Chain A
Amino acid sequence: MTDDKGLQAVPEGEKARASQMSILARFFKATELDTRMLGMIGALLLIWILFDIFSGGLFLTPRNLWNLSVQTASVAVMATGMVLVIVTRNIDLSVGSILGFVGMIMAVTQAELLPALIGYDNPVTWVIALAVGIAVGAAIGALHGYVIAYLGVPAFIVTLGGLLVWRGAAWWVTSGRTVSPMDSTFRLMGGGPTGSIGATASWAVGIVACIAIIAMIWNSRRQRQRFKFPLRPLWAEGFLAGIGCFVILGAVWIVNSYYWPIGIVRKYIEANDLQIAESDLLIAHGIAIPVLMAIAVGIVMTFITTRTRFGRYVFALGGNPEATDFAGINTRWVTMKIFIIMGILCAIAAAISTARLNAATNAQGTLDELLTIAAAVIGGTSLAGGVGTIVGAMIGAVVMQSLQSGMVLLGLDTPLQAIVVGIVLVIAVWLDSLYRRSQH
């Protein structure tokens, strides 16, 4: 009896408060949407629409959006790791150089070392090259992490050193010579017509993703029911599921509307000995493999940050390092693991970038550290520590890349591009700090 009363009293109180709120406020409360994230998505859409208008409709085409997704992949992968680094009040200035060095190692492995042992275009070449790259990236990250966490040298200094060391090392591997071409399977990680999964597989991925979203919403609702926690209204759950599925299927539709260029179709027809006119054969790109890799990295990293102990410790460490230490957590090891993860992500980004270029150069990834940090910060990662999301950083990477490729489409001079990107970064962080202040 008394229990029933207690349970009823709370929703009534909330209802009373809810009736005083505006429709919009009630909507946000019911859906528990992050208004900051919505603001960022709004800004991204605004950037897209403005570029589309000024470029005369060139920006919002399947072709440009598909290219944008491929161009974003490498920085987006690194930005997910940068979130962990910045959340724990560290910084990593060396990611671009690590990318350059690891890319060079992977290129030499597949183009110069392995052919002598197992021949050209062996089906396992790409696996070995990628594994070597990830091992080297993890080792570099471990070294950085060890010096930062156990020897107590500030991350800024260690990774500033790393910026110089690994850029120099990238040159040193081949004395500055560019290594090319890459293994044909390895090259699929760079995108392009063959490095995309095609229309049917893309729809399949989209449908699986929709089912996953619905399953997750349903599962979390069931979990909360089990412990009798307050629930979101059903319409809000349905709205979230609907929006999620709409965005996913819309994205698949866009990448499936971008067809292979006529020259490649011609080669394809010749290679397969088809009796068909080039203009009659429309082959859709579908989702590019590097984009799939970036999404997979994003999902894994989101899982790590929100569902594992390690992720909880990362955020606690950023919020209050002393408290985390007092709680009996081995904060040094946590810090070292963060840098190991960052190194592995640099290796994955290096694979994408090397495969896309079909070559490794000693300048590869130069200034990527700044794009990566900017992506994380625009995505809502606070340099004061403790705050940041993986999704936000990936959207931040899309924002940065949109600005850059949009300005290229408009034909802006390179110096002007740099000026705009710099100003946008400062304004974005300023707006963010205004938003945060208004929240407290």
Chain B
Amino acid sequence: MNSVNKAQSLVDMDNISIAFGGIQAVDDTSVDLFAGEVVALLGHNGAGKSTLVKILSGAYRRDKGTIKIDGKEVAINNPRDAKAYGIETIYQTLALADNVDTAGNLYLGRELLTPWGTLDDVAMEARARDVMGRLNPRFQRFKEPVKALSGGQRQSVAIARAILFNARILIMDEPTAALGPEETAQVSELILQLKSEGIGIFLVSHDIHDVFDLADRVTVMKNGQVVGHARTEDVNKDEVLGMIILGKCPPGAIPGPGALAS
């Protein structure tokens, strides 16, 4: 795919496979991502898209396949490895420690320390107030555990955590699933802003309407395999819907191994 593209891809996941027990969740799947690009990974629930990105974020270990960052093969065996390559993930479940406050969650695993090696809570809270102020200006409840926050506020915390550490590659798994229309619009705006800063973004969604207008390309998965890749200007929503539901590859798309034989 994109064989004519001379630019260096940011992420190349080639021939990735993973099985859980007897179930082949992801089967020989390849995707790529360029800097400043938004790629939507679409498919039904259980199509394998979340599993695929969890391999990139280090939450799962692949059985087969290679991952390249900037064209160089890398070993991503756990979330720490992924973060070291600038890969940040906003999980569908948000992955927040419910009993810890906002600043504690933002800096979980990367705490700011005082010169004595102790937690610098005040500095972390100050940065948290700063970042959250940009994302969600009305946010005030810094002292409370995130359990006490609303769905939208929790989402802001998860997003703030991902962008706090200069991510190069951002994975958003159903980023707007828990949000109202206003908050969804905010997230869309944020995605465009991050894209203009040169960050490569994987948007994972089962709902094409959420992501079609934001994405530069779509990759559709079905039963663990890629149905096809397409630039959003080459296909329309109905065609992509056909890819998701039927596995039928339209003329504007490059078929993958999971495409329905015509």
Question: Taking beta carbons and an 8 Å cutoff, which residues of A are in contact with B?
Answer: 10, 223-224, 226-227, 229, 303, 306-309, 311-313, 315-320, 322-330, 386-387, 440
The complex places the Cα of A258 from the Cα of B94 at a distance, in Å, of 57
Q: Do the beta carbons of B79 and A328 come within 8 Å of each other?
A: yes
- A316 contacts B95, C-beta separation under 8 Å: no
Per the bound structure, the CA–CA distance linking A222 and B110 in Å amounts to 25
Q: Please state if A316 and B108 are interface contacts (CB–CB under 8 Å).
A: yes
A315 touches B99 (CB 8 A): yes
Chain B residues, CB < 8 A from A226 = 122
Interface: B98 (CB within 8 A): yes
Please tell me if the beta carbons of A327 and B79 are within 8 angstroms of each other in the complex.
yes
Is there an interface contact between B95 and A322, defined as CB atoms closer than 8 Å?
yes
Q: Which of A229, A325, A328, A386 contacts B98 (CB 8 A)?
A: A386
Closest 6 CB pairs of A and B: A319-B99, A386-B99, A327-B109, A323-B95, A316-B97, A328-B80
B95 and A227 form a contact (CB under 8 A): no
Q: Which residues of A contact B91 (CB under 8 A)?
A: 323, 326
* Contact across chains for B93 and A307 when beta carbons are under 8 A apart: no
Give B167 Cβ to nearest chain A Cβ, in Å: 13
**Which A residues are in CB contact (< 8 Å) with B113?**
309
User: In the complex the two chains form, what is the Cα distance from A395 to B198 in whole Å?
Assistant: 54
Q: How many A-B residue pairs have CB under 8 A?
A: 88
A329 engages B118 (CB within 8 Å): no
Known: A323-B108, A326-B89. A227 touches B122 (CB 8 A): yes
Contact of A308 among B96, B105, B119, B125 (CB under 8 A): B119
A229 adjacent to B122 (CB under 8 Å)? yes
Q: Can you spell out 13 A-B residue pairs with CB atoms less than 8 angstroms apart?
A: A227-B126, A229-B125, A306-B119, A311-B119, A312-B108, A312-B111, A315-B99, A318-B99, A319-B145, A324-B97, A326-B57, A329-B109, A440-B148
The residues of B that contact A312 with a CB separation of less than 8 Å are: 100, 104, 108, 111, 119
Contacts of B61 in A (CB 8 A): none
**Any A CB within 8 A of the CB of B78:** yes
Nearest-CB residue, chain A, relative to B127: A227
Chain B residues positioned under 8 Å from A330 (CB to CB)? 80
Kindly state the separation between the CA atoms of A148 and B168 in the bound complex, as whole angstroms.
36
- Contact: A315 with B97, CB < 8 Å? yes
B83 near A: Cβ within 8 Å?
yes
Q: CA of A386 to CA of B104 in the docked complex: distance in angstroms?
A: 13
B59 interface residue (CB < 8 Å to A): yes
A327 to B91, CA, bound (A): 11
